[in-house]
Structure 1
Amino acid sequence: MSNSKENKQCSEEDLRFLKRRIKVLDEGLSSEDRMELWSKIEAAIYHRRRKTVSLSLFIRYAAVVAILFTATYYISTNISSRKEVDYSSILSDTKLPDEMLENVTVILGDKEKIEIEDKDAQVSHDEHGNMRVNKKKIDRPKSSFHEYNQLIVPYGKTTQITLSDGSNIWANSGTKLVYPVVFASDKREIYVEGEIYLEVVRNEKHPFVVKTDMTEVNVLGTSFNVSAYKNDKQQFVTLVTGSVAIKTTDKKNTTVIKPNQLYTFEKESHSARLQEVDVNEYICWKDGFLIFHNESLAEVLKKIERYYNVVLVFDPVEISKVTVSGKLDLKSDINETFRIISITAPIVYEKEENVIKISVKP
């Protein structure tokens, strides 16, 4: 009888000790998650008590420790894994291109904005979350290292960012990127609206995921390009090295692509196709060039409009009938770019301030 009373008292003390130790772990959980968690813990403790009447105090506390680790694992896997990051909410306060930001801007977790006026913008984070903009250290509280930042690249600008794991990203004009200041221990995940080229540091234990509003690209370590502009009818993934697996948001289909392959996802029909390509045509923008091979002039003009931050006025049906091939140096000014295009394509153009009117020669 005294043994039973002693074990009951000890188990209740164990439970109180356990609650104190893992109190911090359930912060942020819903009431439903909390009830589910504690019912599992209490059931495990009393089930263990009934089977361990003759166990020593040491073994009973070893059992409590085991339950503690089980509870921690349960929270980090069974609960946290169900809570997806709401990237739409993070981006909801950001208006681009409506606001037409003039400079590359980093929006921090507390909504503080850092505008980068320099022509060449470079942002970097080290493994501890320390941030630098063009090599200048940005002092931030340690608590902010668990936040998500937004990188906003307006039309007419490009930039480069180094993430906390050492992976490098080139962001094209008109791009929004959401990323954690420091990656979580189990997964590296970012979100993009626009176009980015990535060189991902390989880490087999921590896969790298690039999310868009309609696709999810899973990689270990590789270099590839993702184009997912909001107003485009298609999204593209072009693989340079390595291997990636692409899932659609309904997660019904997964496509693995190899180097020199282009994955095209049609937004309207939710269909996808795979083809062999010259990847240089899809990644040369990061080096300040555009390469075209029998491409619709309408698509070429769309890229030029973003890169130079100009307004192009033309008849899309008429212009789409014209195809162009060649290479454009985007370091040239807009006048030189259109002079070259008019030599290779049957068009005429007229520039008035920031607006260029284009038509096909009769």
Structure 2
Amino acid sequence: MKKKIEDILVEEGITEKKIKEEPNASPKILDTANQLYSYLKTPKNKWSALEKKQLHFRIQHSIETITRRKTRRIWFTAASVFIFAISGGIWYSQFNQPSEIADFANSIKESKNDTITRLVLSEARAIEISEVESEIQYDTKGEEIAIGSSQTVQQKLEPVKPSYNTLTVPYGKRSKITLSEGTTVWLNSGSKMVYPAVFAKNKREVYLDGEAIFNVSKDPERPFVVQSQQFNIEVIGTIFNLSAYSDDQSSTAVLKEGSIKLIRKTKAYLPTENKMISPGEMVTFEEEGEQLVVRKVNPSDYLSWHHGYYVFKSETLGNILKKISRYYNIEIDLKDRELAQITFSGRLDLKNNIKEVLHTIKKTTPFNFKEEEKIVTIY
């Protein structure tokens, strides 16, 4: 490991000419290889232990990805970067680092058993909201916040650094929030959104863990970016639904109006994947396959929950029960795993209680259930 990186490049016979002549590499791969080669030849400062640990994890992911693709040249690229990380460098800082708002969101400690909607202001002052359906509205300066029709709170903002507020909506609750620049967001049960009280002059950025409908105020000079664990969505003005729960295996975005650019995050040293989405399209990211899949849908079916009903078309019972469990804040124990794959199509009125909703599904999907306290057992 004490070898200099330039010695390793010489031993492997890697040159700019050889990279350009690689017959099996795509333009994206060649571009990435050229960037790496350029950095490997340049002396770098030593890294901290934390940076080495982070890069080790990312390179390991790259190697696993590369092994699946069976691309010899890319394997060498990843392996070279790993050696480079040990010997020192700062190149990592340019690739997919978490943003400030994402770091802040991930640092928040929260309880999954909470039953109160909480608005936490930048000075760490928490406001509890007991209503099942709450409404929050900021003034244009971000200093005055109206909660429902009877409560108003003030917050002091520091002009030097962004003041992040956090809205956490537990299972069984929903919330509508109007941000300082006019964007309206409906948060579904079990969701958390982090956002600045006042947006910066050049961008509008929020972080979502959960499900929300965004009606983004148009501002061509300041694109609106929604960050989530799996991908970012960039818009100027549009209406869309994003479902990105951190404990789900897949994330989806459905566009009703306007256009959005979806940028998939990656832990590997590979080019990121971008998708432009048009109205009436849904994009799904499956964590296992690490692919973005786009298909045509009726957007109203996916935005219906904030009107008090769900619309399902050939949806698996397992997915439906997870949504219902969150909405009603009730534990559902599905005993038969095969039942989870049975599909259901229809409309569920969420103004009904949990028993009525399950009886509606039961009309076309064979199962039995029993309710004991706050646990429903399906068999």
Report TM bin, short chain: 0.7 to 0.9
CA contact (8 A) 1:147 1:180 kept: yes
Structure 2 counterpart of 1:124, one-letter code: Q
Once the two structures are superposed, the pairs formed by residues 127-142 of structure 1 within 5 Å of their partners are 127-129=140-142, 130-135=144-149, 136-142=151-157
Question: 1:297: how far off?
Answer: 0.8
- Counterparts of 2:140 and 2:98 in 1: how far apart (Å)? 24
When residues 309 and 150 of structure 1 are mapped into structure 2, their CA distance, relative to the original with a 3 A threshold, is same
Q: Which residue of 2 aligns with 1:310?
A: 330
Structure 2 counterpart of 1:127, one-letter code: T
Q: Which has the larger radius of gyration?
A: 1
Question: Which stretch of the first structure deviates more once superposed, 345-354 or 334-343?
Answer: 334-343
Q: Which residue of 2 aligns with 1:260?
A: 280
Once the two structures are superposed, the pairs formed by residues 11-160 of structure 1 within 5 Å of their partners are 84-97=99-112, 100-129=113-142, 130-135=144-149, 136-143=151-158, 146-160=162-176
- Counterparts of 1:285 and 1:233 in 2: how far apart (Å)? 21
1:345 equivalenced with 2:365 (yes/no): yes
Is there any run of 5+ residues in structure 2 with no aligned partner, and where?
1-44, 46-96
1:95-154 deviations in Å (ceiling 9; x for gaps): 241xx2112111112222111012321111121112111142202224389410111000
SS of 1:336 mapped into structure 2: helix
Question: 1:86: how far off?
Answer: 4.5
SS of 1:230 mapped into structure 2: coil
1:161 equivalenced with 2:177 (yes/no): yes
Q: Which residue of 1 aligns with 2:260?
A: 244
CA contact (8 A) 2:117 2:169 kept: yes
CA contact (8 A) 1:96 1:174 kept: no
SS of 2:158 mapped into structure 1: helix
When residues 244 and 120 of structure 1 are mapped into structure 2, their CA distance, relative to the original with a 3 A threshold, is same
CA contact (8 A) 1:188 1:208 kept: yes
SS of 1:156 mapped into structure 2: coil
SS of 1:143 mapped into structure 2: coil
- Counterparts of 1:159 and 1:336 in 2: how far apart (Å)? 24
SS of 1:338 mapped into structure 2: helix
RMSD: 2.0
TM-score, reference length from structure 2: 0.70
Q: Which residue of 1 aligns with 2:321?
A: 301
CA contact (8 A) 2:257 2:279 kept: yes
1:222 equivalenced with 2:238 (yes/no): yes
1:146-176 deviations in Å (ceiling 9; x for gaps): 4101110000011100011100000000001
Is there any run of 5+ residues in structure 1 with no aligned partner, and where?
1-31, 33-81
Question: 1:316: how far off?
Answer: 5.8
- Counterparts of 1:301 and 1:157 in 2: how far apart (Å)? 17
CA contact (8 A) 2:196 2:206 kept: yes
CA contact (8 A) 1:96 1:154 kept: no
- Counterparts of 1:316 and 1:91 in 2: how far apart (Å)? 35
- Counterparts of 1:223 and 1:303 in 2: how far apart (Å)? 21
- Counterparts of 2:102 and 2:202 in 1: how far apart (Å)? 19
- Counterparts of 1:356 and 1:121 in 2: how far apart (Å)? 27
Which one scores higher on RCO, CA 8 angstroms, separation ≥ 6? 2
Structure 2 counterpart of 1:190, one-letter code: V
TM-score, reference length from structure 1: 0.73
Structure 2 counterpart of 1:203, one-letter code: D
